[in-house]
Structure 1
Amino acid sequence: MAGSGDGDWWRGAVIYQVYPRSFQDSDGDGIGDLKGVTARLDHIASLGVDAIWVSPFFKSPMADMGYDVSDYRAVDPMFGTLADFDALLARAHALGLKIIIDQVISHTSDQHAWFQESRSSRDNPRADWYVWADPKPDGTAPNNWLSIFGGPAWEWDGTRMQYYMHSFLASQPDINFHAPAVQDAMIEEMRFWLDRGVDGFRLDACNHYFHDAKLRDNPPARRMAAHDIPETNPYGFQEHLYDKTQPENLAYLKRIRALLEEYPGTVAVGEVGDGERAPQTVGLYTSGGDTLHFCYTFDLFGTEFSPRVFRETVTKFLKASADGWVCWALSNHDVMRHVSRFAEAGDDPNRIGRLAIAILVALRGTICIYQGEELGLPEAEIAYEDLRDPYGIRFWPSFKGRDGCRTPMPWSRDEPQAGFSTAKPWLPIPGEHKARAVDVQEADPRAMLHFYRRALAWRRENPAIQCGDIDFVEAGDDILAFTRTRGGETILCLYNIAREPQDWPLPAAYATALADPLSAPGITVNRKMLRLPAYGWAFLRKPG
């Protein structure tokens, strides 16, 4: 296991994200479920990961695919039952895998009983459990805050004759964490799952728990030029100083940590999307030993695949969180798969995929891989009529949404629906994904799947890589270079993020070094020079 002891197993760990509705269908309705996840746990265990992050499976009207919870203690029938979850947990633990579940507590579904009561009047017991505000004198929204999913972050309610805040869909009202009773209630919702034996929580949108109590307007975003419009979504026009990442948040994260301390070995990983402030926010949220164990960042989810991006991003976060811990990922259920983001026309996606995981496994921190990336799956092209993601439907065609990274796992090339289901799946499975099915890759020792297993085993077997210090080495525009050091061992990690071979003069200390077996084929090393093939990498151990 990762880390130096069971209590800190998460340091340097590898987490595998499962998106249940797309992993395995066990009952023939075209939607993945918990029994399906249990049936495929051996595949996950074979990768050599430490833990599984299971995306939401709670009772929900599914307006945002389960990130709109209507009952935190119930499994949605489409995913199964509490007994199915208990069986999943037991089987995972038997395989040596820990289970981390999503906790989506910054907001609920508008179908949650709490919200139904809160909206019924201004004086009911839960009247202040959500963010309610009076309109301006002209009837417009209380301030200029925007929803991440487009448009104002306020929705009018004709019963209370007030607006309620929603950072996401209008059917996802924001919880009011300024109310002490809400804080207590959410702690108990988490305790329910800890008592069932989960090993921790991935805290969705954890910097969104508190809003500015004065409801001050956000200022305009700083931009290079007036015509430099950010993205497709107007959300980027603002500096989000008041609708999230408020000072009060830290004290509540400490309450969550105190709860977890009652259950030794459990962890909390916070999802932080905070633009330019993200490094400082992650540092604050993971420092001191009494906050979150580590934080998950979006900052490697861009489209630029360059040494500069990796060097600057990792440096900023590690500097800001010197007393904390960062979790790195290249893909998840919210972004285009990284093989498609990073590849240019004419690139071999297999080379891109191998290079990407070779970088990820060598970074300091915990790492997370998303289901299907071990197969090198590219982003799926989804027709408008097949879209299910409300975000994509809202901004089509300039933004096609998140369905392209959420298509079902291809298990068997020649089985109906690639072995995912016996029925038509909720999203189509592309032919190019079927060609990369698990059974195809299991039979090919050169396949991406086997390289992932070797890369994760290499990380696990090298303490300097898993938990050692990292220092970046200047190597020009095309080569990413850094060392990982622990005790008396130093490993030099080199990556050619270019389409042509690159020569790099070896430091004298590595003149007699040999390339590690995990290095890319085609590496040439002599006493003065190392040649890296296009999109190649090398790991050199400093001679003792």
Structure 2
Amino acid sequence: MEMLVRSSAEPSPHAEWWKGATIYQIYPRSYADSNGDGIGDLPGITANLEHIAELGVDAIWISPFYKSPMADFGYDVSDFCDVDPIFGTLDDFDALMARAHALGLKVIIDQVYSHASDQHEWFQASRLSRDNDKADWFVWADAKPDGSPPTNWQSVFGGPAWTWDARRGQYYLHNFLPQQPDLNVHNPAVQDAILATQKFWLDRGVDGIRLDAVNFMMHDLNMRDNPPVRDASTKKTRPFDFQHHFYNQSHPAIIDFLERMRQQADTYSNRFLVAEVGGERGQEEMKQYTAPPGRLHSAYGFLYLYADALNVDLIRQATKLWPEDDQTGWPSWTFSNHDAPRAISRWASEDHQRAFARLSLLLLNSLRGNVFIYQGEELGLPQAHVPFDRLQDPEAITNWPETLGRDGARTPMPWQHDQQHAGFTSGDPWLPVDDRHLDLAVDLQNADETSTLAVARRILALRRENRTLREGGMRFFGETNENLAIFQRGTGNDALLCAFNLSDETVEWQLPAGWTTIESVNLRGAATDTLPAYAGLIAARS
């Protein structure tokens, strides 16, 4: 079904632009390289923003591009208010933002306030002594009498979450890499410094901020040990998985600080704050951090992101978690990002990935909440294969081969099928291009009206212009087939009926009388009383 795609410069007609918005995540190392050093950069993004604008999304979210030693590829920040030279300069960022705004795109940046780099001047000062003005800006604690770490807390990336520092004669906390010491956000001076950082970027004109690892921002001041996970069925691939994380994260006082952040954001016009919240209590904390009034606008969760399978129960669970009432905030959903294997490789066999890529785009854009689309998702890219000797991700290297790691979702964007490194760079790319991605390159799909990219543009145009899809309610119908998701968005004459076959087999189902299909995928030539494998549709009242 053909639909008109908006002009790239057409502004969003919605007063609260962020509510129900579609947001495109850019991983800058892998989007486009402008200078041939093999690493994507800000000028590369600016030169290729038309591709995103033509999709019909509302905003871009750019993963960290700040000064960093790159131990965790930018999530170890050594200067929160400057650009790392490998990505460009502040002037390059300003040019990117001006171009995005000219194309009708809002700009969201990624800020990391739970930890910093061990090369940050704050940490370099903090480790000098126990009595300087930055001494309490990070989480320090004495060793136990036997010299062991203060608690049993484990790092996400493996091993104890504490590292000994001989100069201070104490351990410092790092929930991630040792090169990522945790900020002591209990300290009012640290909170003020974070708010100053937030103000720096809001003053510069950004439209929103994604807050990384929000529930890691504060620790238990009593330094209690985490209890073990006794459920034998829980998959454990790293020491972190053996504990319930009650005390190294998720402190109740986080909420008070988030309210301070929201108060500052509200002094600007129509800004957007969204939290990344993961972990075993992530769903509960997402709701706490976004509860109206006065907290964050939305939260970005992991319900779909790490799910092994896509089924009706998962979608029902998401719907129940976010009821339409005055006490519950507004969710954000994503199927893929830079930290998780790509959804089509997790949820579909290789033979069905093209069909599933289209189904997942239609389903994601049919959900109630904000939608985050990860670069390459509009092309139907599968998880790339990265040989062990080319791995860059410290988590992947540590846990290989038990986990797929993150590198396979971070490989370069394929722009041109017949160019070296798919047109991403003229140099040696920091991660290799998977040969399977060449046939899915942007240039080939731009020339094909039946491509996944063309389908993505169509779907996104529909969501952008349809208030029911953006903001309407969502309720399930009583289907019993575990692979058949049938739900309604909105009510009355504006209601939309959404139907999805989540399996690789045809299922019996017929569109009820009084409804007309306005968008569909993988349905061409199907009988009127069936939904083929990975088929989906949206229907409006006739």
Paired position in structure 1 for 2:3: none
Once residues 467 and 523 of structure 1 are traced to their aligned partners in structure 2, the CA distance between those partners, rounded to angstroms, is 32
Paired position in structure 2 for 1:392: 396
Determine if contact 2:57/2:464 at 8 Å carries over to the other structure. Answer: no
Sort the Cα spacing of 1:472 and 1:4 in 2 relative to 1 into closer, same or farther, 3 A: farther
Say yes or no: does 1:49 pair with 2:53: no
Paired position in structure 2 for 1:24: 32
Paired position in structure 2 for 1:172: 180
Once residues 390 and 201 of structure 2 are traced to their aligned partners in structure 1, the CA distance between those partners, rounded to angstroms, is 34
Say yes or no: does 1:249 pair with 2:257: no
Paired position in structure 1 for 2:132: 124
Which one-letter code corresponds to 2:533 in the other structure?
A
Q: Normalized against structure 2, the TM-score is what?
A: 0.95
Once residues 227 and 326 of structure 2 are traced to their aligned partners in structure 1, the CA distance between those partners, rounded to angstroms, is 27
Q: What displacement does 1:516 show?
A: 1.9
Unpaired runs of 5+ residues, structure 2, are: 1-9
Determine if contact 1:3/1:11 at 8 Å carries over to the other structure. Answer: no
1:203 to 211, 232, 242: 211
Which one-letter code corresponds to 1:234 in the other structure?
P
| Superposed CA RMSD | 1.7
Sort the Cα spacing of 1:326 and 1:4 in 2 relative to 1 into closer, same or farther, 3 A: farther
Sort the Cα spacing of 1:472 and 1:428 in 2 relative to 1 into closer, same or farther, 3 A: same
Say yes or no: does 1:362 pair with 2:366: yes
Paired position in structure 1 for 2:313: 308
Paired position in structure 1 for 2:339: 334
Sort the Cα spacing of 1:273 and 1:517 in 2 relative to 1 into closer, same or farther, 3 A: closer
**1:258-284, CA deviations, whole angstroms, 9 ceiling, x for partnerless residues?**
110111111110000032x22221111
**1:505-526, CA deviations, whole angstroms, 9 ceiling, x for partnerless residues?**
65xxx32322224354247676
Which one-letter code corresponds to 1:298 in the other structure?
F
Q: What displacement does 1:220 show?
A: 1.6
Q: Normalized against structure 1, the TM-score is what?
A: 0.95
Q: What displacement does 1:236 show?
A: 1.6
Sort the Cα spacing of 1:339 and 1:90 in 2 relative to 1 into closer, same or farther, 3 A: same
Once residues 340 and 29 of structure 1 are traced to their aligned partners in structure 2, the CA distance between those partners, rounded to angstroms, is 30
2:407 to 403, 417, 423: 403
User: What SS does the aligned partner of 1:138 have?
Assistant: coil
User: What SS does the aligned partner of 1:515 have?
Assistant: strand
User: What SS does the aligned partner of 1:421 have?
Assistant: coil
Q: What displacement does 1:487 show?
A: 5.4
Once residues 467 and 391 of structure 1 are traced to their aligned partners in structure 2, the CA distance between those partners, rounded to angstroms, is 37
User: What SS does the aligned partner of 1:516 have?
Assistant: strand
Sort the Cα spacing of 1:273 and 1:319 in 2 relative to 1 into closer, same or farther, 3 A: farther
**1:403-456, CA deviations, whole angstroms, 9 ceiling, x for partnerless residues?**
100001010111122111110111000111111110010111111100000010
Sort the Cα spacing of 1:445 and 1:505 in 2 relative to 1 into closer, same or farther, 3 A: closer
Sort the Cα spacing of 1:505 and 1:419 in 2 relative to 1 into closer, same or farther, 3 A: closer
Paired position in structure 2 for 1:93: 101
Once residues 301 and 326 of structure 2 are traced to their aligned partners in structure 1, the CA distance between those partners, rounded to angstroms, is 12
Q: What displacement does 1:3 show?
A: 8.0
Determine if contact 1:202/1:271 at 8 Å carries over to the other structure. Answer: yes
Once residues 36 and 11 of structure 2 are traced to their aligned partners in structure 1, the CA distance between those partners, rounded to angstroms, is 37
Determine if contact 1:283/1:321 at 8 Å carries over to the other structure. Answer: no
| Aligned residue runs from structure 1 range 211-290, under 5 A | 211-223=219-231, 225=232, 228-275=233-280, 277-290=281-294
**1:215-254, CA deviations, whole angstroms, 9 ceiling, x for partnerless residues?**
111112251x3xx352312212111111111110000000
**1:487-543, CA deviations, whole angstroms, 9 ceiling, x for partnerless residues?**
53211111111222111265xxx32322224354247676xxx31111111222234
2:470 to 446, 466, 473: 466
Determine if contact 1:38/1:88 at 8 Å carries over to the other structure. Answer: yes
User: What SS does the aligned partner of 1:69 have?
Assistant: coil
Q: What displacement does 1:477 show?
A: 1.2
Once residues 412 and 289 of structure 1 are traced to their aligned partners in structure 2, the CA distance between those partners, rounded to angstroms, is 47
Once residues 234 and 467 of structure 2 are traced to their aligned partners in structure 1, the CA distance between those partners, rounded to angstroms, is 45
User: What SS does the aligned partner of 1:169 have?
Assistant: coil
Percent of residue pairs identical = 49
Paired position in structure 2 for 1:450: 454
User: What SS does the aligned partner of 2:509 have?
Assistant: strand
Say yes or no: does 1:429 pair with 2:433: yes
Q: What displacement does 1:305 show?
A: 1.7
2:23 to 15, 24, 35: 15
Determine if contact 1:458/1:518 at 8 Å carries over to the other structure. Answer: no
Once residues 527 and 397 of structure 2 are traced to their aligned partners in structure 1, the CA distance between those partners, rounded to angstroms, is 52
Determine if contact 1:2/1:10 at 8 Å carries over to the other structure. Answer: no
